[in-house]
Amino acid sequence: MTGKKIMDVKRLAQVVTEARHQGKRVVHCHGVFDFLHIGHIRYFEQARAMGDVLVVTLTPDRFVDKGPHRPAFTETLRVEAIASLSCVDYVAINEWPTAEETLQLIHPDIYVKGSEFKNIQADMTGKIAREEKVARDLDIRLAFTDDIVFSSTSLINRFISVYPQEVNEYLDLFRNRHPRDDVLAVIDRMATLKVLVIGDVIVDEYVYCEAIGKFSKDPVLAVKYLSEDRFAGGVLAVANYVANFAGQVELISVLGNRNHYEPFIRAALNKKIKPDFFTVEGIPTVVKRRILDGYSLNKLIEIYDLDERELPPAVSEAICTTIRERAAKADVVLISDFGHGAINDQITETLCETAPFLAINTQANVGNRGFHTISRYPRADYACIAEHEMRLEARDARGELRPILEQTCRRLKARYMIVTRGQWGCLVSGAGDEFAAVPAFACKVVDRAGAGDAFLAVTALAAAQKIPFEVLGFIGNVVGAEAVEIVGNDKAIDKLKIKKCIVSLLK
């Protein structure tokens, strides 16, 4: 019986049409319904009482945007649970993120939402307002139930959380120390900031292959080409992340005139960004080409195309002149320094002299390891580096990390400094005695590349607001958890998605 209720949305549209031709009034409910509870059941029962046939559509897993720990139940389990209810006549998994297209396809008589959605203006996503417009245009009645409200998110966090006990205990403490609205306000205030971003352009190429065996004459793995992707990486990715949160974004960087990739780069930038590219003769734009197994996404080999010769004096001076013109007008100057030659000592000195709020990341990678650490900068207001980069800076592979972090932070005279630690979260320190350790919130890791760029971009905008240390680390780890689910820098982290994740974690 339950199986007969479940169908795809196209078949559901046919069923609804047939029912309406028979003079029956069709009622439609839509949502995630991740943790089926008494609130949902009473919502469905009230909706069913408004008509003759109740159809339910639910958001598919790929469009659930309530944080890295959601959905708690797969779409298959969720649809089976709803189909088991006697008050529900038919149920389908939606094909779109919202019910807008679904309403147009199935055209019910009544579209019913829960009482918590009555204040349409309070919906931060704007989805309910868009659905209301579609319903109005199609002459579909929009109705709301009137009953007690339960939160699936709150119940999941309390009773079936996917996180270890220590993370759940931390979140309980964080909720008590920092009101959710205060954390969300930090994200909202980013829209008032003007940001200047400077660093190394990197074009990331992912070549997906399938292993076909060992080469017959040499001990070499042979692979078959499948497909490839190209992403705007390095400072381009950082600028794109910033643009999704900040009000105004300017970008300064360097391109080579050989294999310059400029049309691709400009097309890949957020339209909000105003770029200034300085061309250096005789060198390529930096390209990092990764050969991956197409199934597991494990990286097999990485090929660098770069030339790290010094910037010509004329180019260096032109960049410094531009920095002097732009930095004083910015709220935040954000340096994404990959050590590939876009920032020399003259530019470093100019940045440190002119930036009103200086946020820095110096990345240690195979192209610069041992030659490029945070100590090349005499000061920072905010610095963010990974644990291995901090240990390289301190020449200390095994010592306790907190004293190393605090010592480096004092030397830079930084208001904030963060060390990211992957699955162990991050540590946050200040020039005084302030310190916070924040656990990681990632549940699924697809690709770690680019996660640090996202973390840096958003936390720099938060740090400029002089927020509590723990809140800074929390926001960074929320962003990191979302970023590791994305291949490379395929898309920039969405501001609304981060806000919804924060709401979900702090319910």
Claim to verify: residue 152 and residue 188 sit in the same structural domain: no
Q: What residues make up the domain containing 420?
A: 184-198+233-251+319-505
**What secondary structure does DSSP assign to 262-287, as a single string?**
HHHHHHHS-TTEEEEEEEEEEEEPPE
Residue 188 lies in a domain: yes
Kindly tell me the burial class for residue 481, based on how many C-beta atoms sit within 10 Å of its own C-beta (0-12, 13-18, 19 or more).
buried
Residue with tokens 């990331």: 204
CA 138, CA 130: separation in Å to the nearest integer? 13
CA 236, CA 253: separation in Å to the nearest integer? 9
Claim to verify: residue 107 and residue 189 sit in the same structural domain: no
φ, ψ dihedrals at 88, nearest 5°: -95, 130
Identify the three-state secondary structure at position 222.
Answer: strand
φ, ψ dihedrals at 412, nearest 5°: -80, -10
Amino acid letter at 3? G
CA 396, CA 388: separation in Å to the nearest integer? 10
Claim to verify: residue 338 and residue 487 sit in the same structural domain: yes
Residue 296 lies in a domain: no
Q: Which of 503, 490, 49, 43 is nearest to 231 (CA)?
A: 490
Claim to verify: residue 38 and residue 144 sit in the same structural domain: yes
Residue 284 lies in a domain: no
Amino acid letter at 468? P
Claim to verify: residue 244 and residue 125 sit in the same structural domain: no
Quickly count: other Cβ atoms within 10 Å of residue 135's Cβ: 21
Residue 242 lies in a domain: yes
Q: What is the pLDDT of residue 159?
A: 47
Look at phi and psi of residue 33 and say left if phi exceeds 0, alpha if psi is from -120 to 50, else beta: left
Claim to verify: residue 372 and residue 451 sit in the same structural domain: yes
Per-residue pLDDT of the chain (507 residues), as tens digits, is 567 899 999 999 999 999 999 999 999 999 888 777 778 888 899 889 999 999 999 989 888 876 666 677 888 888 998 999 989 999 999 998 888 899 999 999 999 888 777 776 666 677 778 888 888 888 989 888 876 655 555 555 554 556 678 888 898 899 999 999 999 999 999 999 999 999 999 999 999 999 888 877 788 888 999 999 999 999 999 999 999 999 999 999 999 988 789 999 999 999 999 999 999 999 999 999 999 998 888 889 999 998 888 999 999 999 999 999 999 999 999 999 998 989 999 999 999 999 999 999 998 887 777 678 898 999 999 999 999 999 988 888 889 999 999 999 999 999 999 999 988 999 999 877 889 999 988 766 666 666 888 999 999 999 999 999 999 999 999 998 888 776 656 666 788 889 988 988 887
CA 480, CA 70: separation in Å to the nearest integer? 15
CA 57, CA 102: separation in Å to the nearest integer? 8
**What secondary structure does DSSP assign to 339-390, as a single string?**
SSSSS-HHHHHHHHHH-SSEEEEE---TTTTTT--GGGSS--SEEEEEHHHH
Claim to verify: residue 122 and residue 192 sit in the same structural domain: no
CATH of the domain at 496: 3.40.1190.20
Three-class DSSP labels, 29-63: EEECCCCCCHHHHHHHHHHHCCCCEEEEEECCHHH
Claim to verify: residue 194 and residue 111 sit in the same structural domain: no
Q: pTM, whole model, 2 decimals?
A: 0.74
Claim to verify: residue 81 and residue 29 sit in the same structural domain: yes
Claim to verify: residue 149 and residue 109 sit in the same structural domain: yes
